[in-house]
Amino acid sequence: MVTDQGGRASEADGGPVRHIPVMLAEVLAALDPAPGKIILDGTFGAGGYTSALLDAGAEVIALDRDPTAISAGQPMVAAAGGRLKLIHSRFSELADHVPEGGLDGIVFDIGVSSMQIDEAERGFSFQRQGPLDMRMSGAGVSAADVVNRAKVSDLIRIFGFLGEEKQAGRIARAIEKRRAEQPFEKTRDLANLIETVTPRKAKDKIHPATRVFQALRIFVNDELGELAHALFAAEQALKPGGRLVVVTFHSLEDRIVKTFFQDRSGKAGGSRHLPLVTARDATFTPVGKPMVAASEEESSRNTRARSAKLRAGIRTQAPSPGTDLSIFNLPELASLARLGG
């Protein structure tokens, strides 16, 4: 089984299959699950990590903001004999679900689930026609709201920063012109416009709309903000010796995780962009190498693993220095609330 470049799981005949947990062996090695330990899976999805943690004897608290994932996971809850709690919640709100005494481990798998990609009605992919939605929770501002309501300047920033799209200006202006005549409602409608504005070249490995769709998904679900808040929450929730393991699939996400662990390393830091930071007691010590990538063997059979990066740390006894989102240098983008229907 493999996943295509859109993250959708498939078999050789092109039929969809269930989500394959990426870097499972590396995640388990970093988390060190065992009987008596309580581990939180902040991104349950199809339950790949949770299932393996249960098999290792741990108790699991699993979260997911997608109500579909919660519903699909109920048979696993029933089979776990009381060792699994599956909760509909954003992982940034994990502090609301931490037992007294804290957690022994936390794992985050950052990114969209292949199950969500496969469901055309969710609107995450232009591979299949569906509503231009992309909301993981099924509530709030949709991708269609953003495309049809945001200012051109805001669209340029969203596509340029979150999608790293070099043609962000050209695409945003084409969207503005087209939506004045007819609003965007379907995934392929938007994808076709983008392909017309920025035609695919022979050397291009991805469809011209890929980066824009990625940017819209990240923006609609506030994925970078959610990750940043979740990291701070994890620091508060872990007991001394507890382990935090994060798997990312995008450079922007990995940069946030890398920055967090560097900031919590206890070493004085800084860069040509940021002021010098005074050294303080470390709240995390590294687990193995600072970053671990998926093996060549896994990447060859699961294309979703090709961009995967794992970073992990062990919680010390030092008190948390608190929440400071400025360390991530996140961009100021349009307000989601202002774009609502």
DSSP state of 215: H
Pairing of strands 309-315, 292-293: antiparallel
Residue 335 identity: S
Tokens of 95: 């502090």
CA distance 247 to 264: 18
Alpha helical stretches, state H, 93-239 = 114-118, 143-149, 152-157, 168-181, 187-197, 210-220, 223-237
Quote helix, strand, coil % in the chain, to nearest 5. Answer: 40, 15, 45
Instruction: Tell me which amino acid residue 230 is.
Output: A
The SS3 of residue 172 is: helix
The burial of 122, by beta-carbon neighbours within 10 Å (0-12 exposed, 13-18 middle, 19 or more buried), is given as: buried
- Which residues define the annotated binding site? 47-49, 64, 91, 109, 116
Q: Which residues are annotated as a binding site for S-adenosyl-L-methionine?
A: 47-49, 64, 91, 109, 116
